[in-house]
Structure 1
Amino acid sequence: MTTRSSAQNSTSSAWTRSRPRRPWTFRLNSREPFRSPRTGERVMLTASRLVLARKRRRMTLSSLANKSGISVRSLTAFENGHKAPAPETMETLAEALGLPLAFFAAPDVEEIELDAVSFRALSKMSALDRDSARGAGRIVVEINDWIERSFGLPEPDVPTLPHLSPEDAADRVRALWGLGEAPIPNMVHLLESHGVRVFSLAADCASVDAFSFRWKRTRPFIVLNLEKSGERGRFDAAHELGHLVLHSEHRIPHGQEAEQEAQQFASAFLMPRSGLLAQRLYSADARRILSAKLKWQVAAVALTYRLKDLGLITEWNYRTTVKQLSQMGFRRSEPGGIPRESSQLLSKVFATLRTQKIPVSRMAEEINLTVEELNLHVFGLVPTVVDGGGEMTSPAARPNLRAV
């Protein structure tokens, strides 16, 4: 018999609070079919989807014109809805943008508002980087909509505490979620258990560390860069939770002050004051910090900074320890670090599809994506299998996803 920590128990129980769901149904896009020269499908262009696809691919009108051979003037007319492309032209655009024809014929899409997204150093980002990440975020919303139609998921349980200090807000969230002062076993699983939709950032958006937003001011999303270390990924997840908690109502979630507050929240959330005091890390040197970081699963330098912030080590000790850690390779990376956290919710989605003999290609088809594009946003969890031609089945009710 095993004993789980209070954090694990809280994470597990939160998965059971989802609302009753309608029966699991699988519906293809209800819009009228389109025809292409090769397949006989009728083509209809939704202008906003062409804009989304171009931005997602980090292209200007000029670069798309160069790749597709279609003039900038025609592309501008297509995106403004002033001109409809011929079927052959639509196929050329779909090929250039690497998305199915169905993507461009699906219903209108609304962009994520820039002021709703927690981009770091926004003023230093290029318009292409910013728009590509926002495009990826909008595709993530489409993926999540499909999952919510098919599965019972935990309802959002993320408080908004804009009037509290980052330290107090972190303590309040820990108390509300029943975490006590214990280390958090898995940040991604914890977030998912409280209704945060966590997805991965496509590799072609690598210039962005992570970002978060509340879609329609209600559904919280966090998108994480998988190129970071496991420790950095946990801190990024906590950082974005800080934005959702502190900056989701009347405050814009970017800018220097907002970033500093999110950093302070993440530090306090992952390394609570009471927990560090109980570990007796007064005047800790590099050796003790490297030992303690294994318990809290954070970067060595981040733990050192937290100890300084709490007054457990002096400024001189902080500078000396950081210099020693840097010489050991802990400034730019995390030698011998923890594995990158992944999504438990998405793993269960794909496991259920396999159980029901539903090919992932059908899921991608209903979201109007290629399987390759889908995989970029779901932690690379799409299994590589040969479609055996299994028929789709419809269980009596949508499965509720629970932590094990």
Structure 2
Amino acid sequence: MPFTGAMLRLARQRRGIRQNEAAQRLGISPTDLSRIENDAKEPSLSFLEKAAGEFGVPAEFFSLTDRIYGAPVSVHPMWRKKAQVTAGEMDAVVAELNVRVMHLRRLLQATDINPIRTIPQLDIEEYGSPAKIAALLRMHWMLPAGPIPNLTQILEEAGIVIVHSRMGGSSVSGVTFRVPGLPPLIVLNSDQPGDRMRFTLSHELAHIVMHQFPTPTMEQEANEFASCFLVPTKDVAPHFGQGRVDLPKLAALKRVWKVSMASLVFAADRAGKLTTSQKNYLWQQFSMNHIRTSEPPELDFPHEQPTIVTSLLRAHVENIGYSVAELANILTMNEAELPEFYDMSELIGTAPNRPKGLRIVK
């Protein structure tokens, strides 16, 4: 059987297993495992079968020749958990991204996505600021003034593929992968609340629209874009009224705008509705009520559910006629592993609404 050492490494890293631990599990030295992963030593068939069992993949996975990509332009952590993403977390996240790209490439061999929106490339140096670019994109997509009810749907209509993942329990809140020949892929950490997930999605959209190359200020720029795209200053200003901006008002507006109370404080400040002392007092209230670390759970709202990948899977099962086992085979996965990546309950029963622009190609 042909063998690709990089695929062995990818399978190991996706499971978050360090090389020394993997070598011990597989009964070889770390040096030999390193040589195998770098195609400097030919593995035995029994070794590959054991590795397949340890890493939860079919042995055929190790013979794939797909290109493996490194870390994307931006990977940012969930600030409420910790400030840094460890090397091990990064390896696992990037490995999962590569596997998802491999799946997407195979799913799109028999199906097609025809977006009804286009994604412009808007450079900050040309357009002035992330806030201006956010306003331009809303105009380009002809979004009405006010809150965006379903951000996920808007991005999917632009051909952006969105998936939710626990990301191995890592601190990464979201990441965008752009590879040649495929639509942009955004993976969102499913462990974050709905308001944070929408902000993360808007943040990742900023990278797609504004950032072709990494810069020292790109994260700050993406945050500014995300805030202004979700809560345009001129649209939200009248909602604060002429009275005092306090916690009850922020809580009420969170239900309308579907962003965090903290985001609304920044929006009120941008709109000139807060003096410095009022803003400082609000942040003190946030700290006293522990809102900075966890906003009131009664204000939470359900995650927006992406539909493109589910529709691609359903197209293969219902329209093309694959069994679930055959679907796992074309994705080079164990059938039991499918639920780790996809909600298999969506492949049974009533079909969800297919996103506009999804075309089945047989």
- Please say whether Structure 1 and Structure 2 have the same fold, judged by a TM-score greater than 0.5: yes
Task: Tell me by how many angstroms 1:47 deviates.
Answer: 1.6
Alpha-carbon shift at residue 130 of structure 1 (Å): 1.2
Q: Residue 279 of structure 2 aligns with which residue?
A: 318
Partner of 1:120: 76
Q: Relative to structure 1, is the Cα distance of residues 322 and 361 closer, same or farther in structure 2, using a 3 angstrom cutoff?
A: farther
Deviation string, structure 1 residues 235-291 (Cα, Å, up to 9, x no partner)? 11001111111212xx316x5x21111111100000012211242445422221111
Alpha-carbon distance between aligned partners in 2 of 1:241 and 1:368, rounded to the nearest angstrom? 30
1:65 aligned partner: 23
Structure 1 position 139 matched with structure 2 position 95: no
1:345 aligns with 2:345: no
Distance 1:325 1:158, change over 3 A: same
Cα 1:281–1:243 shift into 2, 3 Å: farther
Distance in structure 2 (CA, Å) of the matches to 1:206 and 1:123:
12
* Contact 1:181 1:274 (8 Å CA) reproduced: no
Distance 1:129 1:364, change over 3 A: same
**Which amino acid is 2:345 matched to?**
P
Distance 1:355-1:108 versus aligned 2 partners, 3 A rule? closer
Q: Count how many residue pairs are aligned between Structure 1 and Structure 2.
A: 340
Alignment of 1:245-264 (within 5 A): 245-248=209-212, 251-252=213-214, 255=216, 257-264=217-224
Post-superposition Cα deviations, 1:303-342, rounded to whole Å, max 9, x if no partner, equal 1122113322222222222333444453223322101122
Q: Give the TM-score of the pair, scaled to structure 2.
A: 0.85
1:148 matches 2:108: yes
Aligned partner of 1:110: which letter? Answer: I
- Look up the equivalent residue of 1:231 and give its one-letter code: D
Q: What secondary structure does 1:279 align onto?
A: helix
Three-state SS of the structure 2 residue aligned to 1:124 is: coil
- Would you say the 8 A contact 1:222–1:240 is kept in 2? yes
Which secondary structure state, in structure 1, belongs to the residue aligned with residue 198 of structure 2?
helix
Contact 2:317 2:347 in 1 (8 A): no
The 1:297/1:124 distance shift into structure 2, 3 A limit, reads closer
User: Which SS does the other structure have where 1:400 is aligned?
Assistant: strand
Instruction: Give, as a single letter, the amino acid of the residue that structure 2 aligns with 1:243.
Output: H
2:158 alignment partner, one of 181, 184, 194: 194
Counterpart for residue 46 of structure 1: 4
Superposed, 1:187-336 pairs within 5 Å as 187-216=151-180, 219-248=183-212, 251-252=213-214, 255=216, 257-282=217-242, 283-334=244-295, 335-336=297-298
Question: 4+ residue stretches of structure 1 with deviation over 6 A?
Answer: none
Q: Percent identity?
A: 27
In structure 2, the residue matched to 1:104 is 62
CA RMSD of aligned residues (A): 2.6
Could you say which residue in structure 1 is the equivalent of 2:352? none
Check whether the contact 1:167–1:265 (CA below 8 A) recurs between aligned residues.
yes
Alignment of 1:160 onto 2:121: yes
CA contact (8 A) 1:202 1:376 kept: no
- Give the Å deviation of 1:353: 4.5
1:383 aligns with 2:332: no
Alignment match, 1:37: none
Residue-by-residue CA offset, 1:141-193 (whole Å, 9 max, x unaligned): 11211221222213472222122311011011111111132311112221111
Q: Could you say if the C-alpha distance between residues 400 and 384 of structure 1 is closer, same or farther in structure 2, counting changes exceeding 3 Å?
A: closer
Instruction: Assess if the C-alpha contact under 8 Å between 1:174 and 1:269 holds in 2.
Output: yes
Name 1:390's counterpart in structure 2.
none
Cα deviation for residue 385 of structure 1 reads 8.3
SS of corresponding position for 1:149: coil
Report the counterpart of residue 355 of structure 1 in structure 2.
318
For residues 189 and 343 of structure 1, the distance between their equivalents in structure 2, rounded to whole angstroms, comes to 7
Distance 1:135 1:146, change over 3 A: same
Contact 2:105 2:182 in 1 (8 A): no
Deviations 1:53-101 (A, max 9, x none): 1222222321210222122222122112122111101101111111111
Q: Which residue of 1 aligns with 2:89?
A: 129
- After superposition, the Cα gap between the structure-2 partners of 1:145 and 1:280, relative to the gap in structure 1 and judged at 3 Å, is same
Q: Does 1:76 align with 2:40?
A: no
Contact 1:48–1:109 (8 Å) recurs in 2: no
Q: Which residues of structure 1 form unaligned runs of 5+? A: 1-42, 387-397
Q: Which runs of 5 or more structure 2 residues have no equivalent in the other structure? A: 349-356
> Which of 311-320 and 138-147 deviates more?
311-320
Q: Cα gap change, 1:399/1:203 in structure 2, threshold over 3 Å: closer, same or farther?
A: closer
How has the CA–CA distance of structure 1 residues 327 and 352 changed in structure 2, closer, same or farther, with 3 Å as cutoff? farther
